[in-house]
Each structure stands twice: as C-alpha cells, then as structure tokens.
Structure 1
Amino acid sequence: MKMSKSKTRTLHCLWLFLLACLCSASLANNAKINFREKEKKVLDQILGQGKYDARIRPSGINGTVDSATRVFVNLLVRSISKIDDYKMEYSVQLTFREQWLDERLKFDDFAGRLKYLTLTEANRVWMPDLFFSNEKEGHFHNIIMPNVYIRIFPNGSVLYSIRISLTLACPMNLKLYPLDRQVCSLRMASYGWTTADLVFLWKEGDPVQVVKNLHLPRFTLEKFLTDYCNSKTNTGEYSCLKVDLLFKREFSYYLIQIYIPCCMLVIVSWVSFWLDQGAVPARVSLGVTTLLTMATQTSGINASLPPVSYTKAIDVWTGVCLTFVFGALLEFALVNYASRSDMHRESIKKKRRDMEQASMDAASDLLDTDSNATFAMKPLVRHPGDPLALEKLRQCEVHMAPQKRPNCCRTWLSKFPTRSKRIDVISRITFPLVFALFNLVYWSTYLFRDEEEN
C-alpha cells in the first residue's frame, strides 16, 4: 500500500513538470508573437503614413539642418570576371554598403531585445543619390529574391547593403604590353546633392575588402588604394570616392603563346643558311612559309589589342622578328645572285685560260719550228704579247708586291672559294649574334623600365 502511494506521488510530480514545461513554452511562443507584433508596431510608428517623408534628407551632425548629411561607404569585391584590353574595361561584382544617421528613425529597443529592423524596400526611407561615374553597364541580382536589405538600428542609424555587377571603364597605357601594370578605378559620386548637403566618406578601419580566393585570368591584383575625388562643375561641387585597383599582367601566358613561338620561327628561318645554295625550291619555300607564319602571328596579336597611336613593347618584338625572317629571305636572294655571278666569272676565267693555253701551244710550236734551223737567232727583246713575257711579268709583280700580314678572318674565308658560300657562312654567325644582342637590349629595357617614365 505504501509503494502504491509513492508511485502515485511520482506520477503526479511528472505530470506537474510536463504541464509547467508546456505552459512556459506557450508563454515563450506568445512572447515571440507579441514581440513580432511590437516590431510591426515600431515600423508603423516610425514609417507610418504622414510620419516619415523619404523625400527630405536627414539632418547633419548633432541634428543641425544646415550641415551636410554624412554617408559612410564600404564595399566587398566578390569577383572580377574579366579585364578587356581591347574595350579598355573590366567587370566586377560587389557587395556595396552605405551607412548614415537618420534621427527620425529612432525607436525603443525594448531593453536591447530589438537589435534592428529589416526592410527590403529601399523607397521606404531616404536614400543617397550615389552613382558610379565610370560605369558602362550594371545590373542588380534578383535570384531568388532581390539581394538587398536595409537595417534600421535603435539610434536611427541606417545600413543599406546590395549586391551588384558592374562593367567599368578602365583607360589603359599599353606602351609596356605585355610587361605592364594597369590601374583601374571604381568611382562613386553624388549625382544631385552637392557637398553642402551630402558628403561621402570611407568607413574607418577597413573600407574595402577583397575575397581571399579572388582569381583573375592573365592578371594579378597587387594592391588597392582608397581616395577622394571631389569634382567641381557649373552646378557646384560634388562628393566623390574612388578605389584604385593595381593589376599586374601575368607574363607566363604571353611567354608561351607569343615570345617562344616567334623565337622558334626566327630560328627556323636560319635553317636556310645551312642548305645548299643550289636547293632553290627548299630555301624559297622555307623563307616564304616562315614569313607568312610570322605575319599571321603578328596580325593575330594586333587583332586582340586596340589601335593606339604609340608603339607597344609587343610591336617592337614582332616587328624585329618579322624583320629577321624577311632578312633571311633576302639573304637567299643575295646568295642566288652571287652564285650566278660566280658561275659567270668562272666561265670567263675558263675562256681566258683556254685562250692562254692555245696561245702558249702556238708559241711552243713556233719554238719547235725555229729550233730546227741552224742559224736561227732568238730575239733579244720579246714582244709584249708574248706569253712567256706575260708569265715573267706576273712573277715579277708577285715578288715586288708588299707582303701583307695574315688575317685570321680572311684565312678562314679563303677556305670557301665562292662568294655565295661566304655569304651563307657569314649569315650563320651574324644573324644569331644580332638576334641575341637584340634580346639583351629588349629585355633589359622593358623589364627594368619604370612605369612613371610612360
């Protein structure tokens, strides 16, 4: 009997505990419902009809009407999709934030329980008339819902945040392309309110943030700087903010796609110097093919760049490479001309040797005939046209000529009897040396050139 009473009391205590939990949960739920109703009442109280006018700007510092409204700006760079050299523009996606104080929106926070109120309609409160002055295109993000919110804090502070994508103009200096650095700006200014009414300021601390995994094709974001760019026009002075983004172009892509192929084409054009001078079809086809390939490469590079009035670093490189390839083709034309000249000279020398041999044979026959006569007398002075006299005259000239010091270059070139062969041999050495000298000057000039000199 005693055990049954204790069990009954235990069950009774459990039922009372469960009933207390249900009562507290229902009370908490009712409190939340009442709290949400209080948020609605607060919104109706501060933004109700006839209580707030969004057309009137907030007061300035300390509630003075004459002072300008201060708007603090900060932004997050979410991504940079492309940097277009031809159109001189870049695309960026931002989380853009503005914060200002509007004392007309103060409300009771119920002992800290109501931290802020959230709105999704920007037209319910006064908004700064900020615009991006170097914008070409832009759009908001509305999937699944519009990516925008407005938070109103108990002290009347308003936070406006929105996600936007922009295509902005970026004037570029391409003198050092593709070894250049570019500075692209993001400019934000007031469209209608002058500095007497509205002033934009960068938020203290960290006004610009960049995501850690930011990836750019062909570029690297080195650093960014914030500054002010107030502008004066006929209608007054307007507040302006700007962010300068410093981009460094990745050179490895251009090294693989442009510089190494151009070097290979120039070296291939030198193969013509090692072919026989009689291999006319092979040398002509090699020279023309490399010249056309180099011209196509140059036109493809220029097609991706804007037509500017100055000379770019890539123009110097492609122009010199094209000149080397064209020079190799002209070298073969010179070799071909020298080869024909050598053949003509050899034919003349052969005819002359044949004539001298014939005259010497005739003189030998005449001497044989004269030797048969007993009293034949040899002339004391030979006739100038006598072959023996000419031969002795040459020998005297050789002995009387001044002896020159041996020259290593002439000695080496004397191994090649024809001029055409000498031209090929000289080209084998001259072309690579001049190209190596050009590379030394080119890379030392453009790699260590200061951007400020442009």
Structure 2
Amino acid sequence: MPTWLATHTASLLLLLACLAQLSRCNQGKVNFREKEKQVLDQILGPGRYDARIRPSGANGTDGPATVRVNIFVRSISKIDDVTMEYSVQLTFREQWMDERLKFNDFGGRIKYLTLTDANRVWMPDLFFANEKEGHFHNIIMPNVYIRIFPYGSVLYSIRISLTLSCPMNLKLYPLDRQTCSLRMASYGWTTDDLVFLWKDGDPVQVVKNLHLPRFTLEKFLTDYCNSKTNTGEYSCLKVDLLFKREFSYYLIQIYIPCCMLVIVSWVSFWLDQNAVPARVSLGVTTLLTMATQTSGINASLPPVSYTKAIDVWTGVCLTFVFGALLEFALVNYASRSDMHRENMKKQRRQCELEHAASLEAAADLLEDGTTTFAMKPLVRHPGDALSLENARTCEIHMQPKRDNCCRTWLSKFPTRSKRIDVISRITFPLVFALFNLVYWSTYLFREEAEVD
C-alpha cells in the first residue's frame, strides 16, 4: 500500500473517531436534560409531594422548620418626613431544608433544579410587618426563582419594592438621625412550627453606590423581634437602618437665608430717623418674608406636638425681625418727644427773654421816677427768683462728674431717638451672636449624646 494512502486512511479513521465521540457527548447532554425532567416528576409528581405540609425539623424531627433569611438592598428611593415612610427595593432570599425534595445528582452533574412557580413547593408564610405598599417585578419575566439542591435544600429568591412605615422623632430636625426598620415575621406558623433566623456571615448586603438626596446610610443592624399574641408566639426578624440627615442642604436653604433676613432688618438702625417710609417698608418686608419662610418650612413637615430645632431657629429669627420693627416705633415716639421738648425749650427761652426785657423796662421807669423808696432789700422781684435758680443750676453743672465711658460716648448723641438707634446697632448683633452660640452648642452636643 502506498504511503500516501495509508496516511489518508489513518486521518479518516481519526476523524470518524472524533465524530463518534462528539455524538456520544451530545447524546449525553440530551439525556442529562431528560434526567432533570425525570427528577422533577419523581419528587414533585402527583401523590408524591404535598405543598400544604411543612417540612420536618432538624434531622427529620418534629421540631420547627428553620428558615434562614438574607436580603440585598438594591436602592432606597425616598425617605418622606411628612408621611413618615420610606421606599426600598431589595432582593429577598429564604433558604430551608425539605427532606422530601432530595434527589440523585448523577455524580454531581445536576447541581440544582430551578423552578419559577412557588406554588409547587411549600413556602414560609413570611410577611413584612411595617409594610404600607409593595409589588413584585414582572419585566420581562417574573423576577423570582426557586432552586432545589440534591441534599434537599430550597433557595427562594425574589425582587420586590416596598413602602414601609418609619416613625420619626423630629425634635432635632434638621440635625437629627433616624432609624427605619424592616420587620419580617411569620403570619400563621408559630415558633413551634416555624423559626426564622438570619443567615450566617453577612445576612444584609447594601449596594455600594447607594445614593440618597437628603440622607446618608451610616450603618445597619440585624436583630430579632419575636412577638407574642393571644394565638401564640411568632418568629420575627428585624433590620434597623440608621440614617443621618445631610445638613448642608438645610444650611443653604434655611439657616443662611434666615440669618440674611435678620441682618437686613438691622439696616433700619442706620437709616435716618425721619426716613419713615424707608424704615417702615424695610421692617414690614423683612417680617413678611421671614413669616413666609417659616410657613414654607412647616409645610414640608408633619404637624407634631413638640418643638423642633428648626422651630426654635425660625421663631427666634422672626422675633429679631419683629423687634427691629418695634425699635423703629420706639425711635419714632422718642423723636416726637424730642421735638416736643425742643419746642418747650424754645418757648421757655423766649419767655425768659421777654421777662428780662420787661424787667429792664421797669428798672428804667424806676430810675426816671421822682419817688424812690429805700425798701428794695425787702421786696423780692420775680427776676431775683430766676437768678437764684439759675445760680443753683450753674452750681450743679459745675460740680465734677465721675468719668463714665458709656455716658461720655452717649453724650455725643443729644437726642434720645438717636441714642436708641446707636444702642440697637450694638445690642441686636450681640444678642443674636449669643443666641447662635447657645443654639449650636446645645443641639450639636445633644445630637452627639444621642448617638453615643
């Protein structure tokens, strides 16, 4: 036989052997899928498995069935202060043992069986105790699966969106921290039949890029919250989500504008006391703006019976603005009083001048008269009393006074209205700065104390 013919014959035989091997592999795969169907029919066929009966306890005993739970928080869309609720989307997983679902894995070739119909196997009757609304996700297919492992373990996984209640304490708002819980409990099975446990290791996972507009998720804690009722004790799991409110938003939107309004109201102290339209319009405008700001803040919060930190801030700022308006009323009254006093002084000076002129005229007549009396020392003329009073006044004014910086400084402003304005320019900023010191030290320290 020629060499080339032998070579081609050997190549052809090798090719036929590979095709036969590939055919056997494909035949094995087809048989493997058929085996899965046979296993499902074997363990879930009619008369073989009853989904109404709960699994047995540990090691096949009559004890309670143990269900281990873990969740994956995909997103938290909002935390509403008015309705006191929050919305969360999560992947919820349960795992338990069911001895009736054991099957042959054919040497490890069947890792697990997958179902999408939860009604075919027994399911724990877990419900979310603080749920307000919830829905499943069905796009494109229902986001749920059940895996049955060869040793009888069942894994149930589903993606759901929930709106949960979150009672809040807003005494420190907006310097507060809130704790929102997620409670999961058994509805019908008592702890004698069903017990929920957190999965060992890491029972709660949170997506890494979780973003909230006004809060930061600081940490989360898992715990148990079994409840006792008239019908028995029910197993319950709880996860507490600790949120810290982002203060930068409120600093820009509330605190800084309120400070600016208070400072603008102080501009009235630097205007002339006779500029009545300017000072009145400035005081009324700042007061109305501050009242509108306060109403807008309260509209975004629930009506609670206690005082919040933001209420203290807006209330004091509103008081300062209102005080600036009242200060102008006092200045206006003092200005009119100063004018009245100035007019009285002018009239008094004019009367004194007229009286002095009349005395001089009377003296001239006496000097020109033919009859004179030597009884002048016994007669007191009206001018003598006035001269004595002026002498006493001069003596009083000539007495040395103690040096007083405030009195010396205030003496530069002769009218009371001007003095009130000058004192207000110093008093209002000092009192407001003192209030800020007390406010921030009180609420920031109280926040740290609550965290500890």
TM-score range, shorter chain: over 0.9
Q: Distance in 2 between matches of 1:443 and 1:382?
A: 76
| 1:373 Cα deviation after fit | 5.7
Q: Distance in 1 between matches of 2:7 and 2:421?
A: 114
Instruction: Tell me which residue corresponds to 2:401.
Output: 404
Q: Distance in 1 between matches of 2:3 and 2:102?
A: 59
Q: CA, structure 1 residues 124+382, in 2 after alignment: closer, same or farther (shift >3 Å)?
A: farther
Q: Distance in 1 between matches of 2:218 and 2:176?
A: 13
In the TM superposition, what are the counterparts of 1:409-448 in structure 2 within 5 Å? Answer: 409-448=406-445
2:31 to 24, 30, 34: 34
In the TM superposition, what are the counterparts of 1:55-134 in structure 2 within 5 Å? Answer: 55-65=52-62, 67-134=63-130
CA contact (8 A) 1:74 1:96 kept: yes
CA contact (8 A) 1:342 1:419 kept: yes
Is 1:231 aligned with 2:227? yes
Is 1:222 aligned with 2:223? no
| 1:396 Cα deviation after fit | 2.8
Structure-1-length-normalised TM-score: 0.95
Is 1:174 aligned with 2:166? no
Instruction: Tell me which residue corresponds to 2:40.
Output: 43
| 1:9 Cα deviation after fit | 3.3
2:377 to 376, 380, 405: 380
Instruction: Quote the RMSD (CA, aligned, Å).
Output: 1.8
Is 1:359 aligned with 2:355? yes
Q: Which amino acid aligns with 2:388?
A: K
CA contact (8 A) 1:74 1:203 kept: yes
Q: Distance in 2 between matches of 1:369 and 1:19?
A: 163
Q: How many residues are treated as equivalent by the alignment?
A: 449
Q: Which amino acid aligns with 2:38?
A: K
Secondary structure of 1:99's partner? strand
Secondary structure of 2:446's partner? coil
Secondary structure of 1:380's partner? helix
Q: Distance in 1 between matches of 2:271 and 2:194?
A: 78
1:262 to 258, 264, 267: 258
Q: Which residues of structure 2 form unaligned runs of 5+?
A: none
Q: Which amino acid aligns with 1:439?
A: N
1:43-63 Cα distance to aligned partner (Å, 9 max, x none): 000000110000000000110
Instruction: Tell me which residue corresponds to 1:333.
Output: 329
1:370-405 Cα distance to aligned partner (Å, 9 max, x none): 44468856822562521x541333223442576431
Instruction: Tell me which residue corresponds to 2:4.
Output: 7
Q: Distance in 2 between matches of 1:254 and 1:14?
A: 81
CA contact (8 A) 1:178 1:313 kept: yes
Q: Which amino acid aligns with 2:114?
A: T
Secondary structure of 2:151's partner? coil
Q: Which residues of structure 1 form unaligned runs of 5+?
A: none
Secondary structure of 1:75's partner? strand
Structure-2-length-normalised TM-score: 0.96
CA contact (8 A) 1:106 1:156 kept: yes
CA contact (8 A) 1:384 1:390 kept: no
Secondary structure of 1:448's partner? helix
1:287-326 Cα distance to aligned partner (Å, 9 max, x none): 1110010000000000000000000000000000000001
Q: Distance in 2 between matches of 1:182 and 1:347?
A: 66
In the TM superposition, what are the counterparts of 1:146-157 in structure 2 within 5 Å? Answer: 146-157=142-153
Instruction: Tell me which residue corresponds to 2:161.
Output: 165
